[in-house]
Structure 1
């Protein structure tokens, strides 16, 4: 049974969930079925009679004829959608698209969302997608889709409205931080999500970004760590930034594998639920692909679910310093339960806990050092003269060449130059090396 600790997601098309191959519930948890049967309560006959009466009245009195199949499917959708924001009934098309999305390629806009106060709320735009290129930001409220209000829509109804073929245009009306509504026109595209990105920020300092936790993310992180060392002339890094900002989550197992790359021992995460196979514990093995390099993890309000598992584990083990702002706070695990008619239930089956027993549900992970987003503006230096520029200046008594002022050549742009939080993370790593004598 695949455990999918992530947000309900509108990748402009469907609830994007990444997980292992989907298995029928009966194949993966027979003990749970026996336990459930043993504790089964008698059928609520009065409520069932009321349901049957409502069904009969709607069929007889509604202004237009409605077939039984539509009414019953709507009843099931209502039952699931009112449990929590992440449980849902998946029809054949939604279920098929969910299975296809495990490859990290799907059609849409690239927006991860939740529901807040009846509106669709952006949790995070996915890197290099129409949404991120259009400037959509975490926390934006989508109040209209193609001119139609989203207030009161269920998640699946919003999914249906945002679904479309690549190349088709769609207009979203957004509200940002209580400001005035504004419109954005986007073009749907085939979204190919690259899970891991890496580069050297400068000599001895590396940068890893995880955009989503896909099936192969753990393996990709291992390769990225090896490549960073190779790019650093084969020398061990002196610092590493792991960027989990605006990462909406993904596969639980991948989160465990990523955390394991930075830990040598101890518990990574455990889950608790009612069914037998929802009680899981994951621990680190002795290997450490990161070589114990000083680590700063960046998080923000768009870091959710699997991202919070990694951040929480590294924080509890004091393996990393967390920097940024409070994370999203999704501490539940969803399981996909296929049904017999090409449909499925996506239902919350467990809560997860960090090694120290913290549940982050509706609270989030609090960073060790709070650093909010900021826009960097640079002032141009005026013409500056130094002692070595003055005629007849004395030479240095200890020897060595003079250092007069000189115009600096334009430097190649670096990610930290325009990213305040990333720049602060790099400065912290450098400071740690200075104080430790590294």
Structure 2
């Protein structure tokens, strides 16, 4: 008589629900039972029986006692972790943290992470966070957290290790662009992110920086555009730089609202998935908060997801010139599906497409003008001798004021002076205006 595995009560109950698993465990295959009333796919009975047997044997033979709840939750995590890097099972704490991050205030280091070949990779640091202040850059690999290797950690486990009580210190070991590992010491803080910042760069050229897409980002961009016009004396701007660099994305609706501020018609983005409510289309209305001003959009490898939706829509409609480097390439949409007991599934349910039908998944948005990061060094102007310095020089016949040589006072530091990509964007806007005036 063949030996039959001895099952625990929970595994036995699961097996009985699946159809006498103990008696059929030795069979190579078993017919699946199809629900003819609902038309759902048949249950994979053989695999479910294997699951019940594995669970039973782990409980019986593992070196330390382990309870059913832990085993089942680990099984759920494993099921989600093998789908794609962005799907996850969110336990109560992780679910609460996700809700906090989209509302704009949470605790931690202020760094968005992803995975590449099993290693943690920085997608982007968040503006005004400990990570940004410490000089962490998009593309850095995190190989250790407080001396513990990160290889094999899930993103949720890594986030859990990096979060902690504000004021406590953590050490990350990083590798940048194939160089040698180096340590960065950071102090955890409450991350309060203001997703939109704006200012006049010089003359009538404006600048809007979006650090991430939160629930109210669309509204904030509208306010920023109005504020820039007010600061410009109520006159229409001569040009605008929209900075999406190192923006890890966020709320899809916010990306649609931001795009709509710059477009007056046409499709912004559409999504495709397997379930009915994943088939969505978003179009622009006639209002144009930007008044059609010349636009340059800055992107880089840290521009992901919702950032790429905005960049792709503006590029397809030829509304602005994209400048910088290739974006991250996250073209999927995640839906948060609440479960019982304050848990949730974050599940990839659709792919999004730009107005011209482009999917940027794993490819990214390619800028119209490639400009890589560079360090600016300012040289002193050589002392010069001009006509106006000569004794007895003739005056300007048109009544203009003489302009002799002389040292100018120290100029106030400007945002574009230490940001090569931004200075190039501003120069492009100036060139476009000169060309239009001729």
TM-score, normalising length: structure 2: 0.90
- State the Cα deviation string for residues 66-104 of structure 1 (Å, max 9, x = none): 111111111110000110000000112211222233320
1:325/1:404 Cα in 2 relative to 1: closer, same or farther (>3 Å)? Answer: same
Aligned 1:211-360 pairs, distance under 5 A: 211-360=211-360
Residue 79 of structure 1 is matched in structure 2 by: 79
Give, in angstroms, the shift of residue 119 of structure 1.
1.0
CA distance in 1, matches of 2:43, 2:399: 94
Q: Where do 5+ consecutive residues of structure 2 fail to align? A: 1-34
CA distance in 1, matches of 2:38, 2:324: 48
More off after superposition, 275-284 vs 382-391: 382-391
Give, in angstroms, the shift of residue 341 of structure 1.
2.4
Give, in angstroms, the shift of residue 399 of structure 1.
4.9
> Are 1:148 and 2:151 an aligned pair?
no
Residue 10 of structure 2 is matched in structure 1 by: none
1:36/1:312 Cα in 2 relative to 1: closer, same or farther (>3 Å)? Answer: farther
CA distance in 2, matches of 1:330, 1:400: 57
Whether the 8 Å contact between 2:102 and 2:250 is mirrored in structure 1 is no
Higher relative contact order (CA 8 A, sep 6+): 1
CA distance in 1, matches of 2:218, 2:104: 14
CA distance in 1, matches of 2:111, 2:53: 41
Residue 17 of structure 1 is matched in structure 2 by: none
- State the Cα deviation string for residues 92-132 of structure 1 (Å, max 9, x = none): 22112222333200000000110011111001100000000
Q: Secondary structure at the match of 2:206?
A: strand
Whether the 8 Å contact between 2:205 and 2:237 is mirrored in structure 1 is yes
Whether the 8 Å contact between 2:113 and 2:155 is mirrored in structure 1 is no
Q: Where do 5+ consecutive residues of structure 1 fail to align? A: 1-34
How large is the Cα RMSD of the aligned pairs? 1.5
More off after superposition, 267-276 vs 394-403: 394-403
Q: Secondary structure at the match of 1:416?
A: helix
- Following TM superposition, the consecutive aligned residue runs of length 4 or more in structure 1 with deviations greater than 6 angstroms are none
CA distance in 1, matches of 2:36, 2:116: 33
Give, in angstroms, the shift of residue 319 of structure 1.
0.4
Give, in angstroms, the shift of residue 406 of structure 1.
1.6
Residue 109 of structure 2 is matched in structure 1 by: 109
Residue 419 of structure 2 is matched in structure 1 by: 419
- State the Cα deviation string for residues 382-434 of structure 1 (Å, max 9, x = none): 32211221234344455533221021111111100110000000000010000
**Greater Rg by CA:** 2
Whether the 8 Å contact between 2:102 and 2:251 is mirrored in structure 1 is no
Residue 3 of structure 1 is matched in structure 2 by: none
> Are 1:168 and 2:168 an aligned pair?
yes
CA distance in 1, matches of 2:414, 2:395: 36
Residue 62 of structure 1 is matched in structure 2 by: 62
CA distance in 1, matches of 2:204, 2:102: 35
- State the Cα deviation string for residues 259-281 of structure 1 (Å, max 9, x = none): 00000000000000000000000
Residue 19 of structure 1 is matched in structure 2 by: none
> Are 1:49 and 2:49 an aligned pair?
yes
Residue 183 of structure 1 is matched in structure 2 by: 183
- State the Cα deviation string for residues 362-401 of structure 1 (Å, max 9, x = none): 0000000000000000111232211221234344455533
Residue 366 of structure 1 is matched in structure 2 by: 366
CA distance in 1, matches of 2:39, 2:118: 35
CA distance in 1, matches of 2:130, 2:91: 27
1:398/1:341 Cα in 2 relative to 1: closer, same or farther (>3 Å)? Answer: closer
CA distance in 2, matches of 1:36, 1:374: 64
Q: Secondary structure at the match of 2:223?
A: helix
CA distance in 1, matches of 2:410, 2:149: 49
CA distance in 2, matches of 1:401, 1:293: 34
Give, in angstroms, the shift of residue 152 of structure 1.
1.1
CA distance in 2, matches of 1:44, 1:228: 60
CA distance in 2, matches of 1:359, 1:210: 23
Q: Secondary structure at the match of 2:101?
A: helix
